[in-house]
Structure 1
Amino acid sequence: MRRLVIDEASAGQRLDNFLLRELKGVPKTHVYRVIRAGEVRVNKGRAQADTRLEMGDEVRIPPVRLPERVEAKVEFVPPREFPVIFEDDYLLAINKPAGVAVHGGSGVSFGVIEQLRQARPTAKFLELVHRLDKETSGLLLIAKKRGALVALQDQFRERETGKTYAALVSGEWAANKKVIDVPLLKFIGSDGERWVRAVTDPNDAHADQAKRSISLVRVAERLGEHSLLDVTIKTGRTHQIRVHLAHEGHAIVGDPKYGDFEANRALARGPLRFDRMFLHAKRLRFVHPSEGGKEMELLAPLPAECQQLIQALQNQGKAQGRPS
């Protein structure tokens, strides 16, 4: 029988999530079984899976048998710090580079969070508040306290945050096209990969499974055969911006999944050597998770390679006599 006292790092966590972390290797079904049976006690009383733990609570965990496991090869995680946009006792905001996953899994051994933990071995708590696609750069929030994580995730869940992305797309975006309100559907393709598609036909067999998705679009700059957009998302669906813009006929430059393969290859092999997706989380607005927290707005500058591409397109426009 184990008795654990909840510390600051675990305060605010649900009982089931706390147990799944403490009982690594124990099947999830078994964890929920012992909770339902009343074998797990919080302050000597029965508790439900969704019970929120508070600092100082005593959790009694019954003996459980771990399944025999084959010794897994331990992957080396290189420590790494990332450009810091903001940091205090509650949270850390970094400017994530493109090409780096936010966490390990799905064929990726490690990501931003694992590398940060290695770089900061004395940190008691570091958890992702939200996620960005591997190919997307920009603002990423990491909580340094359990309470900050819960508060910030509640804001994201209730859409009380403002998230704006810079996206360079092919073609001239229509100035009057300011709102994209198109449902999106996730599915697994024949290649085993996760995909998302727009659903516009009410008679689509899967229309009832698609989720309403809203993106607000503003033209930041016209660059000849390209448009630089500011896209603010009102919903946070998987691949939302990428699919919405491609659905409108303006795929994001360098998007390996929903973009123009030939155009991407030409740009990567051409003199500009631009071989990433031009989608960057540039602005994030939220309420600071401390008591009486103030509203914050963080900005992440465009990566150098994106700035260089814009400059090159601007120079092309001047050479061709286009107005700036």
Structure 2
Amino acid sequence: MTNIIGAAPASAPPAPRTVQVGADAEGQRLDNFLLRELKGVPKTHVYRIIRSGEVRVNKGRAAADTRLALGDQVRLPPLRLSERAEHKAQAMAGRAAPARSFPVLYEDEAFLAIDKPAGVAVHGGSGVDFGVIEQLRMARPGALFLELVHRLDRETSGVLLVAKKRSALKALQDQFRGRETGKTYLALAVGAWPANRKVLDKPLVRYLLPGRSGTEGERRVRVTARDDPEGMRSITLVKLARQLAEFSLLEVTIKTGRTHQIRVHLASEGHPIAGDDKYGDFALNKALARRGLARMFLHAWQLRIAHPASGAPVELQAALPPELDGFLAACAPAE
């Protein structure tokens, strides 16, 4: 449990409060911790208060990806929600996530790997009431510990790891941070991908679209110059698996796990992912929907890790879901 220290009475004006990190949040990223702690607060606002330094960890500024330790003191600034947001937060407080099971690819006492369907966020927040992890916890009420090891975009399907022990969470996350895992995706890119284009080494930077009435909008990512101090080095390996008449089926391995990395890298080469509603060809996407592709064709296909307890190699694979496999089968072959 997290312990709230010095919380103001309901009748008092808004004031900063301090939350002590408990065992359930040890090792969690600061942004994920805040999204759970600040129910009803828009995701964009959570990231804004982190960037501005209003959130403090042990009295110091911290980044969104800061890992929290047991006993850390997290200072939360006073937040005023709109009436609509307050009503939503109150409604959510009385609602439980619906129990939902997901196809299990692998499971033992340390972790499980599931096949996440497209259209489901990995956790709640930013307009999403409940994600995979909340629904999985409700489906397994006897589980003492269930935490996401990594994330997938809401629109992406495929292999997703969930730790069942604190030690497994730390060991697996260390592998991801140390780039010791092998993550390969299947992506259907628009057009003919040049077979000799195998390495994309392009820095990425995050930015926000303008929102309504001057507010911050959705988060986006773009390629930036190599000398941009805000740029994050991003490396994507691409292998042409099959050439079709209109598309290229690619096996894409990421060496760095940046937000929207594959989507932005492929789009920057003039070959966006079919069905991508953020970086893709929007007119083409409408036509593809009429042909049966109603989602982005990006699937977390294979994942290679070392077992968090034994160190033995583990290879996981999720087959293409029927909607992607069927669309692929209907595509005309290259001449």
TM-score range, shorter chain: 0.7 to 0.9
Other-structure match for 2:231: 210
Other-structure match for 2:200: 180
Task: Determine if the alignment matches structure 1 residue 312 to structure 2 residue 325.
Answer: no
For structure 1, which runs of at least 5 residues remain unmatched after alignment? 4-8, 36-48, 54-58, 62-66
Question: Greater Rg, structure 1 or structure 2?
Answer: 1
Deviations for 1:74-113, whole angstroms, at most 9, x for unmatched residues? 3342110001100011001001000000000011111000
Q: Secondary structure, in 3 states, of the residue corresponding to 2:162?
A: strand
Residue of 138, 157, 181 corresponding to 1:118? 138
Letter aligned with residue 137 of structure 2: R
Quick one: structure 1 residues 123 and 249, their matched pair in 2 at CA, closer, same or farther if it must change by over 3 Å?
A: same
- State whether residues 12 and 147 of structure 1, in contact with CA within 8 Å, keep that contact through their aligned partners in structure 2: no
Other-structure match for 1:195: 220
Measured in 1, the distance between the counterparts of 2:244 and 2:27 equals 49
- State whether residues 165 and 281 of structure 1, in contact with CA within 8 Å, keep that contact through their aligned partners in structure 2: yes
- State whether residues 179 and 216 of structure 1, in contact with CA within 8 Å, keep that contact through their aligned partners in structure 2: yes
Residue of 132, 135, 149 corresponding to 1:129? 149
- State whether residues 12 and 150 of structure 1, in contact with CA within 8 Å, keep that contact through their aligned partners in structure 2: no
Quick one: structure 1 residues 187 and 129, their matched pair in 2 at CA, closer, same or farther if it must change by over 3 Å?
A: same
Measured in 2, the distance between the counterparts of 1:113 and 1:96 equals 11
Root mean square deviation of aligned Cα: 3.3
Deviations for 1:126-172, whole angstroms, at most 9, x for unmatched residues? 00000000000000000000010011001000101010000001100
Measured in 2, the distance between the counterparts of 1:151 and 1:293 equals 10
- State whether residues 266 and 273 of structure 2, in contact with CA within 8 Å, keep that contact through their aligned partners in structure 1: yes
Aligned length, in residue pairs: 276
1:32 deviation in Å?
Answer: 3.3
1:251 deviation in Å?
Answer: 0.4
Measured in 2, the distance between the counterparts of 1:119 and 1:95 equals 16
Residue of 300, 316, 319 corresponding to 1:301? 319
1:223 deviation in Å?
Answer: 1.0
For structure 2, which runs of at least 5 residues remain unmatched after alignment? 4-21, 39-53, 61-65, 74-78, 212-216
Give 1:135-174 correspondences, 5 Å limit: 135-174=155-194
Measured in 1, the distance between the counterparts of 2:138 and 2:230 equals 40
Other-structure match for 1:242: 263
Measured in 1, the distance between the counterparts of 2:115 and 2:27 equals 30
Residue of 300, 305, 327 corresponding to 1:286? 305
Task: Determine if the alignment matches structure 1 residue 91 to structure 2 residue 97.
Answer: no
Measured in 2, the distance between the counterparts of 1:228 and 1:15 equals 35
Which ranges of 4 or more aligned residues in structure 1 deviate by more than 4 Å?
Answer: 14-17, 28-31, 49-53
Residue of 257, 269, 275 corresponding to 1:254? 275
Measured in 1, the distance between the counterparts of 2:119 and 2:162 equals 18
Give 1:97-116 correspondences, 5 Å limit: 97-116=117-136
Other-structure match for 1:43: none
Quick one: structure 1 residues 15 and 87, their matched pair in 2 at CA, closer, same or farther if it must change by over 3 Å?
A: closer
1:190 deviation in Å?
Answer: 1.3
Q: Please, what TM-score do these two structures have when normalized by structure 1?
A: 0.77
Q: Secondary structure, in 3 states, of the residue corresponding to 1:246?
A: helix
Measured in 2, the distance between the counterparts of 1:186 and 1:83 equals 33
Percent of aligned pairs sharing the same letter: 55
- State whether residues 11 and 147 of structure 1, in contact with CA within 8 Å, keep that contact through their aligned partners in structure 2: no
Measured in 1, the distance between the counterparts of 2:250 and 2:308 equals 30
- State whether residues 218 and 229 of structure 1, in contact with CA within 8 Å, keep that contact through their aligned partners in structure 2: yes
Q: Please, what TM-score do these two structures have when normalized by structure 2?
A: 0.74
Deviations for 1:17-48, whole angstroms, at most 9, x for unmatched residues? 8xx89xx68xx968836x9xxxxxxxxxxxxx
Q: Secondary structure, in 3 states, of the residue corresponding to 2:58?
A: helix
Measured in 1, the distance between the counterparts of 2:116 and 2:28 equals 31
Task: Determine if the alignment matches structure 1 residue 32 to structure 2 residue 58.
Answer: yes
Task: Determine if the alignment matches structure 1 residue 222 to structure 2 residue 243.
Answer: yes
Q: Secondary structure, in 3 states, of the residue corresponding to 2:229?
A: helix
1:50 deviation in Å?
Answer: 8.6
